[in-house]
Chain A
Amino acid sequence: MTSKEKTWTWRDIPVGAVVEEPGNASEYLTGGWRSERPVFTPDHCVQCGLCYVYCPDAAIVMTREGYPDIRLDYCKGCGICARECFMSTFGLSCFEMVDEEEFR
C-alpha cells in the first residue's frame, strides 16, 4: 500500500500544505496490516451492536437489518469484536478470528 504523497514531487504539494477534504484518511486502506481476519456468522447474532461501538477502526458498519458488516479494507484484525461480542459470554461468539493465510 503506497500512499499518494510518496509519488508527489514538489509541484504536486498543495500551496500552504492545505488538506482540502475532511476525513480523507479513508483513502488509505489499512486492511493490509491484518494477520487475523474476523469471520462473521449471523446464527447467534442478537444485533446488540457492541462490535460496532468498540471497533477502534470504524471498520464495522451496521446494515439496515441491524447486522454488522465488516469493511475488510480497513479492519486491522485486533480481535476486539470477537472478544467483546455479547454472545461470547455463552461461548457463541459471532466472530471467529481466522488466520489471514487461509484466504490466500
Chain B
Amino acid sequence: MENFNVFVPRLLDAREYFSAGHRACQGCGETVAIRQILKAVGRNMILVNATGCSEIFSSPFPQTAWHIPWIHVAFENSAAVASGVEAALKTLERKGRLPKREICVMAIAGDGATADIGFQALSGAMERGHNMVYVCLDNEAYMNTGIQRSSSTPFGAMTTTSPPGRLSKGQKTWKKNLPEIMAAHDIPYVATLSPSYPFDLVRKVKRAVEVEGPAYLHVLAVCPTGWRSPTAETIRLGRLAAESGVFPLYEVDHGRYTINLDPGELRPLKDYLGIQGRFRHLKPEDLEYIEERVQANFEKLRGKARMTAREDRKDRKKTGRPRPRQVKKAARSKK
C-alpha cells in the first residue's frame, strides 16, 4: 500500500484556514475553491475580500470563518485596496519596520465585483504591476442578491433579470472573456482553474504566488442555487464545463499559452447544459448555436497554444534551449 501515499489529502496542507460553520448554501462550489486556494497558499497571506457571496456567508457579524488576516471592502475596490496593502508592506519593509519575508497579498472577488463593478480598479492594479494575486470566483451572476445577470452570465441562461419567455431566450449577450482581457494587460500570469481539478488548482495558485508581479486567476465556482442544479453534482458540473469547452482550463505564463485540459474532441454541450435548470428553456437550435460558438472559441485558444509551441521550437533551434519562463523585470525609470 506504499504507493497509495500520493493521494490527495497528503499533498494539501492539513490545517483548515476556512472554518466550518460558515453559512454557504448546500453544495457551494465557491467554498470548495476557497478552501483549496487557502490550503495552497498557506498562512503567510493577507486577503482582501470584495462584497459578494464569499464575504456574506463567511462573516456574519459576531463571527468569522477566516483564520488569516482578512479585509472586507466594497464591491468596486478590492483590487485597489490589495494594491495599497502591497505598497504599504513594501514601504514598511524598506524602512525596516517589518522583517523581510514573503507575504502573499491576495484579492478575492466574485464575478460581479470583477467583471462589472470593480473592473477599472482591477485593470488599474494590473497595469501598475503590483506583486499581488487577484482571484475571481466566477459563479456567473449576482448570486448574493438573488441571481441577477452580470456581464459574466453565459448566453441563454435564465436569471431573475433575464427571464426567458415568448420574447426572450434568457441572457442575450455572450459571456465576457475576462482571462483574455487580463492576458491583454500583458501581466506575468493568467490562469483559469476549477475546484473540480484540485491538483491543477493547487499548482496554478502556487505558481501565481511565486511569480513576481500581478497574477490573475479565474475560478469557475458552481452555484447549485443559482444554476438550478442538484447539490451533489457541483464537482461534476465543473468537470463537464472543462470537458465540453465552455470553461477551458488554460494558463498564460509570460505570454505563453498552455491548454491544461484538451479533451481532443469536445464533449457534447447537452451533458453540461442538461443538468442545469437555468438552460431548461433552450431549444435545439439555440444549443446548436452555443455549441458552434464554444467550439470556435476553443479552436481559437488551440491556435494560440500552437503558436506558443512553434515559437518555443524556433527558440530552441536558435539557442539550444526553450525560452526562459521568467522574464526579467525591466528596471524602473527613476523620477
Bound Cα distance A76, B19 (Å) = 14
Bound Cα distance A74, B59 (Å) = 16
Given known A47-B7, A56-B31, A80-B235, contact A19–B21 (CB-CB < 8 A): no
- Is B20 touching A58 in the complex (CB atoms < 8 A)? yes
Bound Cα distance A83, B236 (Å) = 9
Residues of B in contact (CB 8 Å), total 44
Residues of A in contact (CB 8 Å), total 43
- Is B65 touching A25 in the complex (CB atoms < 8 A)? yes
Say yes or no: is A26 at the interface (Cβ < 8 Å to chain B).
yes
**Number of A-B residue pairs at CB separation under 8 A:** 126
- Is B9 touching A26 in the complex (CB atoms < 8 A)? no
Bound Cα distance A93, B60 (Å) = 35
Q: Given the complex, which residues of A lie within 8 Å of B224, measured CB to CB?
A: 78
Binary CB contact string for chain A from 67 to 87 against chain B (1 if under 8 A, 0 otherwise): 000010110111110111000
Binary CB contact string for chain A from 35 to 79 against chain B (1 if under 8 A, 0 otherwise): 000000000001111101111111100100000000101101111
Given known A5-B61, A26-B20, A58-B35, contact A76–B236 (CB-CB < 8 A): no
Binary CB contact string for chain B from 218 to 242 against chain A (1 if under 8 A, 0 otherwise): 0000001000001111111000000
Interface residues of B (CB under 8 A from A): 4, 7-10, 12, 14, 16, 18-24, 26-29, 31-32, 35-36, 58-68, 195, 198, 224, 230-236
Q: Please name 17 pairs of A and B residues whose Cβ atoms are closer than 8 Å in the assembled complex, sorted by A.
A: A19-B62, A25-B23, A25-B59, A25-B65, A26-B20, A28-B21, A30-B21, A46-B4, A47-B4, A52-B9, A53-B9, A56-B32, A56-B35, A78-B27, A80-B235, A83-B232, A83-B233
Closest 8 CB pairs of A and B: A79-B232, A78-B27, A49-B9, A23-B19, A25-B65, A74-B20, A56-B31, A78-B231
